[in-house]
Amino acid sequence: MRLEHAPEVRDHWWPRIGWRPGRLVYTWHLTFENAPGLHRHVARYQRQVVDVGGLDPVPLRWLHLTVQAVGWVDEISSGQVDAITDAVGDRLRDIAPVRVAFQRAILFHESIVLLPEPADPLHEVRSAIRDGIAHVLGEAPDAAEQARGFWPHVSIAYVNTAGPAAPYAGALDAIDPAPAEVTVGDVALIVQERLLDPERVYRWTTRARCVLGGRSRDHDG
């Protein structure tokens, strides 16, 4: 099924519940530091839409696919985080690395995104992570933006203004690059911050990584 662009766009950076300057959150992400093919794919789309305006392109180092939130850093103990990492690592051990491809960019209301194909294996990864969180905390939180279900995507630019979508859609549809393939071999537990003016970006340090088909608790941030 070919997804259509949203008809209108709106500012992504509206005040979200729980976020405040300097507040940090634990969340599980796929990160793409070592995906040069995806970086080239994203950069081509970003160059295509930069002159339209009203966008905050995501720096390539901060490309990510949000999998599952854990909770605010000021509400969860370090011991709980370690236990969650162990539980998630145990569950991901039996899931093989996932090969996905990203091709056409789609305009959501608040961002330009790439959708992975196939997406079903990422749902399996997320289910394992949620089960690991629930094993420690009793339940896994449901993010407000996932109220209609988990829809894996990689945002490549965030919209910072409201208005018609046609200029963005036209620029995106003017190119049709070959798909960028990525092997997902691990999932990162990150400590994430949401920055507003003037930077407007999500950035993080990595708390641990759990390997698909294996287990690791590497701490590198």
CATH number of the domain bearing residue 74: 3.90.1140.10
Is the per-residue pLDDT at 220 higher than 60? Answer: no
* Domain-located, residue 41: yes
* Domain-located, residue 221: no
Buried residues in 164-188 as b, exposed as e (16+ CB within 10 A): ebeebbebbeeeeeeebebebbbbb
The pLDDT value recorded for residue 183 is: 97
Domain count, the chain: 1
* Domain-located, residue 3: no
* Domain-located, residue 46: yes
The pLDDT tens digits for 71-123 are 999 999 999 999 999 999 999 999 999 999 999 999 999 999 999 999 999 99
The pLDDT value recorded for residue 221 is: 39
* Domain-located, residue 220: no
* Domain-located, residue 217: no
Average pLDDT, the chain: 93
* Domain-located, residue 34: yes
Percent of the chain with pLDDT over 70: 93
Is the per-residue pLDDT at 218 higher than 60? Answer: no
Confidence of residue 143 (pLDDT cuts 50, 70, 90): low
* Domain-located, residue 107: yes
Tell me the residue range of the domain where 189 lies: 8-211
